[in-house]
């Protein structure tokens, strides 16, 4: 199983290319983001590894020419985090996911992990990474499933954070964002998968054990 997609910011200049695929019992996402911050271009190369239940286990981010230029994190899938050198990140305790500021893809991680039915909502804690500064902090967020996705009809999720920001996301049958109003719009994507065993609110696809 493999998915590929591209997004552009709703305003300004930029583009992201993502490849998501299964590697054994893990999900691996590789992305490249080109963007502008304060009138200066940046490049972000990231790889996120999740376990089968979509808990983030490894985070690798490179910002060529950045200061700092590299972020490496490991997670135990139970809310514990540390750097690649084994330094505990106690501020992130309880976070099961990561939120990269420059991509809509990390919303997919929670949509897949939470498996919400229409009408259900869940509060979460994410390890938020600002791109390109790589500033790291815990972020309290809330996801509400408004409508289930099907093979022909997008799903809808309400995203909220502790700052008061809220947006209604539309997603395809695999939970990949189609539109994030005011933030990102999908520029291209391959076809959604059609395997079995999907999460509630999502058509069969990425959770197919045979995918």
List pLDDT tens digits, range 155-170.
Answer: 999 999 999 999 999 9
Q: Specify whether the CB–CB gap between 25 and 196 falls below 8 A.
A: no
Q: How many CA atoms lie within 13 A of 29 on its CB side?
A: 31
* pLDDT for the residue numbered 1: 77
Q: Report yes or no on whether pTM surpasses 0.85.
A: yes
Residue 114 Cα distances to 25, 41, 54, 111, angstroms: 18, 35, 9, 6
Residue 38 Cα distances to 3, 31, 35, 132, 190, angstroms: 32, 22, 10, 11, 32
SS3 141: strand
SS3 123: strand
Does residue 198 register a pLDDT over 50? no
pLDDT above 90 as % of the chain: 89
Instruction: Calculate mean pLDDT across residues 105-128.
Output: 98
Count, residues in the chain: 211
Domains of the chain, by residue range, sit at: 2-189
- Backbone angles phi and psi of 112, in degrees to 5: -75, -40
Element of type H or E holding 49: strand 40-50
List pLDDT tens digits, range 181-192.
Answer: 999 999 999 998
Does residue 197 register a pLDDT over 90? no
Does residue 200 register a pLDDT over 90? no
List pLDDT tens digits, range 18-69.
Answer: 999 999 999 999 999 999 999 999 999 999 999 999 999 999 999 999 999 9
- Backbone angles phi and psi of 89, in degrees to 5: -115, 75
């Amino acid at each position: 199983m493999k998915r590929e997609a591209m997004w552009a910011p709703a305003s300004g200049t930029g583009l992201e290319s993502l490849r998501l695929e299964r590697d054994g019992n893990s999900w691996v996402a590789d992305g490249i983001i080109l963007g502008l911050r304060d009138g200066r271009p940046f490049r972000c190369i990231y790889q996120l590894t999740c376990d089968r239940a979509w808990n983030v286990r490894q985070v690798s981010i490179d910002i060529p020419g950045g200061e700092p230029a590299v972020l490496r994190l490991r997670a135990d899938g139970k809310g514990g985090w540390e750097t690649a050198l084994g330094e505990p990140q106690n501020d992130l305790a309880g976070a099961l996911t990561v939120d990269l500021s420059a991509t809509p893809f990390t919303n997919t991680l929670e949509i897949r992990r939470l498996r919400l039915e229409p009408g259900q909502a869940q509060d979460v804690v994410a390890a938020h990474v600002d791109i390109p500064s790589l500033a790291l902090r815990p972020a309290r967020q809330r996801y509400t499933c408004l409508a289930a996705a099907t093979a022909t009809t997008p799903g809808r999720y309400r995203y909220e954070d502790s700052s008061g920001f809220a947006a209604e996301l539309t997603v395809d049958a695999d939970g990949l964002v189609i539109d994030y109003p005011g933030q990102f719009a999908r520029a291209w994507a391959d076809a959604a998968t059609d395997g079995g065993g999907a999460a509630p609110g999502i058509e069969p696809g990425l959770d197919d054990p045979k995918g």
